[in-house]
């Protein structure tokens, strides 16, 4: 499958949207890290914000205080979340379990 050729304007717009998405994800991770946002608030926002919904669950967990890579991996395995799962792909049971564990 070949990618369509983009005009300079379309390419510029796509780069701007990608930069905006990265910035929103970075802001959300910072808010999680410093306790300004809870996991439940994040999941609620991710339902409407495409940039947050596309974030990997492992990145969400790593943004939380006192959660390292190994803890995040073990937690995902216990809950039954695939290592490649994105936030928008979480089931209701998985989301509820994350909220129960992290408030």
pLDDT at 1 over 80: no
Residues 65-72, mean pLDDT to the nearest whole number: 95
What pTM was computed for the model? Answer: 0.86
DSSP string, 29-43: HHHHHTTSS-HHHHH
Q: What is the pLDDT of residue 41?
A: 96
pLDDT value at residue 36? 96
Q: Which domains does the chain have, with CATH numbers?
A: 15-102 (1.10.8.50)
Non-local CB neighbours of 47 within 8 Å, separated by 6+ positions: 53, 88
pLDDT tens for residues 15-31?
A: 999 999 999 999 999 99
pLDDT digits (tens, 9 = 90+) for 79-93: 999 999 999 999 999
Listed residue (46, 49, 70) closest to 58, CA to CA:
70
């Amino acid at each position: 499958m070949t990618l369509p050729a983009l005009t300079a304007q379309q390419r510029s717009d796509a780069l701007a949207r990608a930069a905006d998405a990265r910035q929103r994800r970075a802001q959300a991770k910072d808010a999680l890290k410093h306790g300004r946002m809870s996991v439940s608030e994040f999941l609620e926002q991710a339902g409407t914000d495409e940039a947050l919904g596309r974030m990997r669950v492992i990145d969400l967990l790593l943004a939380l205080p006192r959660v390292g890579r190994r803890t995040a991996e073990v937690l995902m395995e216990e809950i039954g979340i695939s290592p490649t799962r994105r936030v928008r792909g979480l089931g209701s049971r998985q989301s509820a379990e994350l909220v129960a564990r992290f408030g």
